[in-house]
Structure 1
């Protein structure tokens, strides 16, 4: 959330917790938002469940399902702090499928796939 609130991963721990597609998608999202002068305030809520856990693989693996509630997470223009107009049909609570791998002693999110369905 720190990266989104400042519009950049610099000075955050994003790379400690995300890798591969998840990290590149986050950087791409932040670049697009930054080009529009947009940052976030607040933060989303999560309700996460572990669907699959394979700790004995060469690279331990987990598949999770997260209900992301973005009600308290707002997009604003950085300079004015005015809210960004969002589509009225936008899902504010939606399912996200997540894959994680354990690299050394650290679990890292490697994919995040938002679903177009409410939770």
Structure 2
């Protein structure tokens, strides 16, 4: 699902059919709202975040696993589409 989120943030397209493969309900609605809000402000994201998911526990009896992920957005920046300039406030850059 993260890959579709990154794609949506980069190009401003909702990718509705592709998104439906990974998210429904509130998760899909929240992603769409975020894309539409950014689009209305002329913002897109450049670069990409770093992700390092790892299985940290497995329960074979309960057939479950715990996954921990470090999500680093340092290289994933919001910019104005027209100018390419950062849309981050100085305190959040």
| TM-score strictly above 0.5 | yes
Please tell me the root mean square deviation across aligned C-alpha atoms, in Å: 3.0
1:27 matches 2:51: no
Following superposition, the deviation at residue 20 of structure 1 comes to 2.4
Q: Secondary structure at the match of 2:69?
A: strand
Q: Deviations over 1:26-52 (max 9, x none)?
A: 001111111111001111011223467
TM-score (norm 2): 0.70
Q: Deviations over 1:33-82 (max 9, x none)?
A: 1111100111101122346778xx9xx97664321100110101111111
Structure 2 unmatched ranges of 5 or more: 1-5
Structure 1 unmatched ranges of 5 or more: 93-119
Q: Secondary structure at the match of 1:75?
A: strand
In 2 relative to 1, CA 65–25 (structure 1 residues): closer, same or farther, beyond 3 Å? farther
TM-score (norm 1): 0.57
Q: Distance in 1 between matches of 2:64 and 2:29?
A: 19
Q: Tell me which residue corresponds to 2:50.
A: 45
1:73 matches 2:73: no
Higher helix fraction (1 or 2): 2
The runs of at least 4 consecutive aligned structure 1 residues that moved more than 6 Å come to none
